[in-house]
Amino acid sequence: ENITLVIDQKLIRDDEALGSILMTLFIIILLVVMMLSFQASYGKVNKDVVDPLILLTQEMNMVSMLEFEQTKMVPSDVVEVRDIQRTFLQMKNSLMSFALFAPRDVVVDMLSSGKEAALSVNEQEITVFFSHIDNFEELNQKTSSKKDLLIMLSKYFDVVTDAIADTNGT
């Protein structure tokens, strides 16, 4: 008994080639789907994390120079970023309050020096400006509200403070 087996090598190679093409096509499709998924995730990460942190950094730089503009921050959907934003706004409000009672230049110098404020004394020669407002007591009595008096004094001190600051005074 003789059995003759005929193997069509071309058919086998065609099947292997088709399998290889299908596997390559599957890998390419899988890679494209992964890239699109990554791009969508990256866009969300960019919107929820990167953009808020960039804006927060810009606002921190402004606050470090005691420039207190209206905040443009939108609370992030990411809890940790939102916590950082809230903490920053509390710090900003604290510095705004502190800046009301101390000369801006002094506070900016202190912040930019990087040194912690410390109670100390150093001897130096200074010039002190004293100001007397004629008839202040009468003005105080004639002014209908203490708020109006405060506004007038504030305007006066703004002019005086600017004149002192122009000559590098504090």
- pLDDT at 131 (0 to 100): 86
pLDDT of residue 12: 81
Residue 68's nearest CA partner among 36, 98, 40, 38 is 98
* Amino acid present at 143: T
User: Is residue 2 helix, strand or coil?
Assistant: coil
d(CA 38, CA 143): 68
Give the per-residue pLDDT at 84: 92
* First-last CA distance in the chain: 118
Q: Give me the average pLDDT of each 10-residue run along the chain (170 residues).
A: 75 86 91 82 77 90 84 86 92 84 75 79 86 88 87 89 84
Question: According to the model, what pLDDT value does residue 83 have?
Answer: 93
